[in-house]
Amino acid sequence: MTDDRERWALILGASSGMGEATSRALAAAGYKIAGVHLDFRAGLAHVEEVKAGIEAAGSEALYINMNAADDGKRAAAIETFRQRFERSRAAGGHPYFRVVMHSLAFGSLVPFLTEEPKDGVDRKKMEMTQDVMANSLVYWVQDVWRAGFLERGSKIYAMTSEGTSRVVPSYGVVSGAKAALESHVRQLAMEFARKGGGIAVNSIRAGVTDTPALRKIPENQRMIDVTLARNPHGRMTTPQDVADAIVTLSATDSDWISGNIISVDGGEFVTG
């Protein structure tokens, strides 16, 4: 079925790893990209490269450097998108967020049991990680839905990991956030289905992927070694694998794949 609407993708975490690859792939597939990211001086040159790549694909890169968990900044971002969509409408276009991807990596990588309290998790670290990596999905989806940016055929994806069912010493805080994220996805999927608006929500469980976020996990080299031994393809997942999956899953208007955890890992999860 042809779709003459103007497809946009809202990518939370659009400057690196899976969010970057998906932004670039969706741009090549004809989407315009609204990208949210948090980068400081050292990362800004890379952000410019990503935006240039998107524009070179004939698309548009509306990138905002902000903390995605800040309510005031989220409200300002929604207003920026509203104004941009108004410009399209004034020119006869019909813009909407065809894809919303939650791909934020920002968590405390500390154990629970440490001799020194400052070295372990505390309430602030626990709540900050949960807020950015899980709860922010709900607040963004509420806002873009209330603003009328989601329509029949829209797809929402949240990036989860094996951390919900396996343990790594420094990953416990993020594991808890991922468990909450998957729960939020199920709840959103059910509520959208009951409204009948044709909007699907799924978790994407990527295999272990070599990105800046992975390299921050203290046990990353062991995770890489174990993954290379375990993944039946003998390689790690790449950000491009995730991007290809999201482009493909977003091709249809169907909302019948919803409320799932979709593995994008070449069979890693099911291989012992």
Ligand X SMILES: NC(=O)c1ccc[n+]([C@@H]2O[C@H](COP(=O)([O-])OP(=O)(O)OC[C@H]3O[C@@H](n4cnc5c(N)ncnc54)[C@H](O)[C@@H]3O)[C@@H](O)[C@H]2O)c1
Binding site for ligand X (CB under 6 A): 13-19, 36-39, 67-69, 103-106, 132-133, 159, 161, 206, 208-209, 211-214
Closer Cβ to ligand X, 246 or 255, answer by number = 246
Select the residue whose beta carbon is closest to ligand X and give its number.
17
- Cα 237 from Cα 60, distance rounded (Å): 28
Asked if 97 contacts 10 with a C-beta cutoff of 8 angstroms, the reply is: yes
Q: Which two tokens stand for residue 168?
A: 């790594």
- Cα 173 from Cα 54, distance rounded (Å): 34
HSE on the CB side for 227, CA within 13 Å? 19
CA angle at 32 for the pair 26 and 33, rounded to the nearest 5°? 75
Task: Tell me the longest C-alpha to C-alpha distance in the chain.
Answer: 63
- Cα 136 from Cα 115, distance rounded (Å): 32
Asked if 148 contacts 86 with a C-beta cutoff of 8 angstroms, the reply is: no
